[in-house]
Amino acid sequence: MKRIQMYVAGLFMLSLLVVPCRAFAFLGVDVGVGYWKQSPSGTIGYKPVAGTVGDIDLKNDLNFKDESKPFVRVKAELPLILPNVYLMATPMTFEGTGAITRGISFGGQTFTASSSVKSKLKLDHYDVALFYPIPLLKTATLGVLNVELGLNARKIDFQGTITESATNTASKSLSIYVPMIYAGIQVRPVKLFSIEAEMRGIPLGQNHYYDYIGRVRVNPVPFVFIAAGFRSEDVKIDQSDVKAAVKFSGPFAEAGLSF
């Protein structure tokens, strides 16, 4: 969590630095901060023991509940032929405690039915996207429609831990780097209101990673916006003995500055 806070603070400092210099180096800057209600579902596994259940259900086995976490993003439009930049940090941590209803295994350890376990799953991720708008589309539609296409690099800090007692615990940590396609669309029928959608995703052989964001945005006063929307992540990965087929989705609220 300290690393997330440092990252968020760094993005705020970046925004404070770039806004005064916008007239010289930037065509526009968006800085947004919000809360996302994350509802987990699906299964995860790591080195299951033969003859045991290796696909662990996030809700039914680990008792994970919905969590609300902050997120921050900075979007900068650059001049000339330089690609625009989109930075985003999304903390994601779930914890659960309770008696499991069936025997499961994780990391070569077996946890018997009816035993009380404490579990934690962290999937913090950080995005850097470089993108371009479709040339002249915004001008041709008098500012109503804008479409962006580019590439996104995502780093995921994964950590999964299940503990039954001081002597029976299993844990796995790794960093995963995922290249993704980025696409964004903004429809702005009037100056103070817009509808926006974003997609980051890539198929990975038999696996995939898709992240969808939709928001309705209002600019009540100059340079200030508020927004509400829905975000959904669909992840299926098999890497370093970690298997996951999970979804995280829910509404979010956001406020920020736009220059």
- Mean pLDDT value of segment 58-67: 93
CATH code for the domain of 93:
2.40.128
Query: Mind listing the pLDDT tens digit for each residue in 211-230?
Result: 999 999 999 999 999 999 99
d(CA 42, CA 245): 6
Residue 35 lies in a domain: yes
Q: How far apart are the first and last CA of the chain?
A: 30
- Mean pLDDT value of segment 73-87: 93
Residue 165 lies in a domain: yes
Name the nearest CA neighbour of 54 among 258, 238, 199. 238
Kindly tell me the burial class for residue 220, based on how many C-beta atoms sit within 10 Å of its own C-beta (0-12, 13-18, 19 or more): exposed
Structure tokens belonging to residue 148? 């962006």
- Mean pLDDT value of segment 70-92: 94
Q: How many domains does the chain have?
A: 1
Residue 92 lies in a domain: yes
- The number of beta carbons lying within 10 Å of the beta carbon of residue 209 is 21
d(CA 195, CA 144): 10
For residue 118, give its domain range. 2-254
d(CA 62, CA 58): 5
Residue 239 lies in a domain: yes
Query: Mind listing the pLDDT tens digit for each residue in 139-169?
Result: 999 999 999 999 999 999 999 999 998 778 9
Kindly tell me the burial class for residue 187, based on how many C-beta atoms sit within 10 Å of its own C-beta (0-12, 13-18, 19 or more): middle
Please give the full DSSP string across 185-212, using - where no structure is assigned: EEEEEETTEEEEEEEEEEEETTEEEEEE
Beta strand residue intervals within the chain, DSSP E: 28-46, 56-57, 67-77, 84-90, 93-99, 104-106, 109-111, 116-133, 145-165, 168-190, 193-204, 207-221, 224-239, 242-258
CA dihedral (197, 73, 33, 69) positive or negative: positive
250: left (phi over 0), alpha (psi -120 to 50) or beta: left
Residue 49 lies in a domain: yes
* Residue 20, pLDDT score: 44
Residue 259 lies in a domain: no
pLDDT band at 25 (very low <50, low <70, confident <90, very high): low
pLDDT band at 9 (very low <50, low <70, confident <90, very high): very low
- The number of beta carbons lying within 10 Å of the beta carbon of residue 90 is 23
Q: List CB contacts of 149: < 8 A, sequence separation 6 or more.
A: 131, 132, 134, 181, 182, 183
CA dihedral 103→104→107→108, nearest 10 degrees, is 40
Query: What is this structure's pTM?
Result: 0.86
